[in-house]
Chain A
Amino acid sequence: MDSLKRKGIALTVLALTLGLLAGCGGNDAENNAQSSASGTGAASSGSASPAAMKEPTKIQIGNLFPNLDANNPVMQELSKRTNTTFDLITVTGDRNQKFDLWLASGDYPEDTLVLKPDYVEKYRTAGALMPLDDLIEQYGPNIKEKYGKYFDLLRSSDGHIYSLYVPKLSTEPSPLLQANFAVRYDVLEDAGYPEIKTFDQLYDLLKAFYEKNPTIDGKETIPFAGFDYYGNGADNLSSPTFDASGLINQGNFTIDDQNDAQLLYSTEEMKRYYQFLSKLYNTNMLDKEFFTLKSEALVKKITEGRVLAGYFPSWWVQPEVEKVLRAAGDYDHLYAYFPITFDSSAENKSFTSLMTRSNWNWVISSKTKHPEEVMKLLDYIFSDEGQILINWGIEGRHFEVKDGKRAVLADFNEKKAVNPDLQWTETASPFMGTSIYLDHGTKLADGDYATPTTKESVMSGYDERTKEVLGKYGKEVWSDFLPEIQLMPALLYQLGDLEDVRADMKRLQQVWLKESPKIIFAKNGQDFDAKWTSMQKSLEKEGAAKATDAYEQLWKTSIERYKTILK
């Protein structure tokens, strides 16, 4: 009896302990199962290929897309063509935290992963990356060919290459690109379709329409609106200032021709844009909720037909607004996009592109056992064939060649329209959307486009009304309104942040975010000036000069280096 009881207790303890262990270990077991499953899948597809080939190399890749199906046709094709199998390590949750965690624990993917430039730098200093110079020399013919004279731009400040990204090869702007200041079709029609170039024009146009139509369906018309995406109101203030002034968007600073930096929050340009907003506010033409409106709430106001104009960046307006309005058949309330500035005679430099697109860069981990195979894979993506595979998909399944031109299969297009998730199971790869696909509008050696996003494909997505409005201006797509794209070797905001002034920058930003709404909502010019001056004083107190000097130094050193490279 006693021994039975004892056994019972021992069993309980054992069960509890095992339960705990199982709880901790569950993840590993799952991971193993997953990797072995993908292993067998790859093996079976491998056996179909000629036996003469050597054993495919297994490459572990850091992947940003949780929805990606690792066995989709494009992935299988890529496997076959490069004689590799893939083991995807998918990043879920907050990417930066994951990258930090990977680095801190040394648990980053074995072979290759994709990182933002600041993390490339972090990983490099920790010795987690392999210098690529020799590998490219030996196994990277396509990379060298695509880069040509820009090759040295790939080099990091110590002279070595640590990450891969594409150069800007296209001569035309991406047809998806559009200006950010939006004006509604019916407002333009009412005034006889003038081309809006300056803010004075915009103000007069909005005022005339607003006076004629003070309310729409019983609710007040909102001539100019904005939204608050990140919960701090910044969306309405910094990028619009750069756009409105025709300045190169350098993040928190402006940089003049002498390469001197100035804190954006203290510039005359920002003051001028604030004055425009303030004028709108005091004539009741600015949305009352300009600084607090969530983006969904703005979509609601727009679908009610009350919003006449605003600063609507394309990443937001294309998916969130245009889709909804087109689906509702509400074509009159769509928006036209003009690069509006204060001074239409001055050169507009606000549309810039880097000579290289360093955004999500591919690196090779120092842990890799077969760097040459990894480099061959990345080099293959740089080839024309590789680009067509990751951008267009597989010929006959996703696209066809008609009259020597690639076109997405109508059938596949229709299916994609019905099921937007189809890309994950058909054409997606870890390379999608990273800095390794060539820009929309780039032409490959065969004279045809590298990606399916072309002027024709963009136009085919337009409705009749949009084509009519564009026709009034003699244009085909909104990108036709844009000034020439400025090619830059670097932009300040992508040079990374400076540890020494990081906290200062944050404090400056908070002062700016807090004071800006008060300045813009000032009752009159005197009040406006007083509040602007008081913000300048606070900025000075929080170390504006120190931060500006530090970033100016960073900019000057980098630009000096690029000058010698590009000579």
Chain B
Amino acid sequence: MQAHTVKRQTTPRAYKSRGRLRKLASQYQLILMSVPFIGVLFVFHYLPLWGWLMAFQKYSIPKGIMGSPFVGFDQFAELLADSRFYQALRNTFAMSGMSLAAGFVCAIGLALLLNEARSMFFKRTIQTIVYIPHFVSWVVISNIVIYLLSPDHGPLNELLAGLGAVGEPIYFMSKEKWFWVIHTLAGLWKELGWSTIIYLAVLAGVNPEMYEAAEVDGAGRFAKMRHISLPSLLPTATLLLILAVGQMLSTGYESQMLLGNSFVMDYSQVLDLYALDYSLSIGDYSYGVAISMFKSVVSIVLVLGVNTIAKRVGQSHVL
């Protein structure tokens, strides 16, 4: 009797799991094919997480992960108590935010305008010209920017002096408050052309019948841009925004390190530079891991946040 009940209870479950198994079995080719890639993901993205242990230790290389003493949350406490950390955090958010905003608006704008260009030759030429800086390294870009803005016969100062706008040449690179703007503009110049590529591709895929229908309805160029081109771009733009927000804290330090100098240190130091200065360059790996863990957590929160907002307003979302 008892055995009977047990059997009756388990039967539906068994059916269910058998159903799942059958489904899996019927897709075994696909599953097998994905194994190597999941393997790669695991080896390169999950195995290294083992190293996060360091953040809770006073890690020293001779002792290794197994031998270093555990210190609990000391590293994080130190991090959160350091005023320079907040400064770096502020700078990172400010510069990433400015680059993100400027990059989005300008790239979409440029894509819309290029899409309207009638002459193919003109369009291609402009595209090529705006792509070029993307392939130039930050070292070169920063030298060009510093030269352009130099108070010692730099072209911009010569121009301003020629126009009679300034008496004394302006030392742009020494102005603390201008650093964010200079950095954003330099980044915009470097990456603008490159980031229009996706938008142009999307615009090329818009069904021409929609434009024709709009024309029949009497829509002009601007109306078509506003009501057809722009809405077609939005799903892609949202997707890119979500991805970009996830990267906000790890935009690298190259540009800030190369453009920055001792005058603007308070405004140019970003998290990655902070991590480099206070952990790698002085051999304090635990602190570096703590910083990178902090970054990961904030990034996940940001991505989830933007994703939720995108879902609410009915745009495309990643997760």
Contact = CB atoms under 8 A, between A and B. Distances in A.
Interface string B249-288: 0000000011011110110000000000110101110010
A17 B266 CA distance: 49
Interface string A475-493: 0000000000000000000
Main secondary structure of the interface of A (DSSP, over half): helix
Contact of A9 (B33, B40, B150, B266): B33
Nearest to B39: A20
A495 interface: no
Interface in A1-49: 9, 12-13, 16-17, 19-20
B319 to A, nearest CB: 27
A552 interface: no
B162 interface: no
Interface residues of B, number: 39
B152 A288 contact: yes
B276 to A, nearest CB: 11
A123 B266 CA distance: 37
A125 B39 CA distance: 37
B278 A125 contact: no
B124 interface: no
Given A219-B153, A289-B152, A231 B171 contact: no
Interface in B204-237: none
Nearest to A505: B282
Contacts of A100: 61, 283
A20 B152 contact: no
A514 B266 contact: yes
Given A13-B35, A100-B283, A292 B174 contact: yes
A224 to B, nearest CB: 14
Contacts of B105: none
Contacts of A513: 262, 265
A9 B29 contact: yes
A513 B262 CA distance: 6
A291 B262 contact: yes
A297 interface: yes
Interface string A501-523: 01100110010011011100000
Interface in A93-137: 96-97, 100, 103-104, 122-123, 125-127
Nearest to B258: A231
Interface in B32-48: 32-33, 35-36, 39-40
A53 B169 CA distance: 75
Given A122-B62, A510-B265, A20 B40 contact: yes
Contacts of A292: 146, 173-174, 261-263
Contact of B151 (A103, A123, A289): A289
Nearest to B266: A514
Contacts of A220: 152
A503 B150 contact: no
A228 interface: yes
Interface string B51-84: 0000000000111100000000000001000001
A506 B152 contact: no
26 contacts: A13-B36, A20-B39, A100-B61, A122-B61, A125-B62, A219-B153, A231-B261, A233-B262, A287-B152, A288-B171, A292-B173, A292-B174, A292-B261, A292-B263, A294-B146, A297-B147, A297-B150, A301-B152, A502-B282, A503-B78, A503-B284, A506-B277, A510-B84, A510-B265, A516-B262, A517-B262
Which 7 A/B pairs are nearest by Cβ-Cβ distance? Answer: A126-B62, A233-B262, A292-B261, A16-B36, A9-B29, A513-B262, A502-B282
Given A289-B171, A291-B263, A292-B262, 15 more contacts: A13-B35, A16-B36, A20-B36, A122-B61, A125-B62, A219-B153, A220-B152, A228-B261, A231-B260, A297-B147, A297-B150, A503-B278, A506-B282, A514-B265, A516-B262
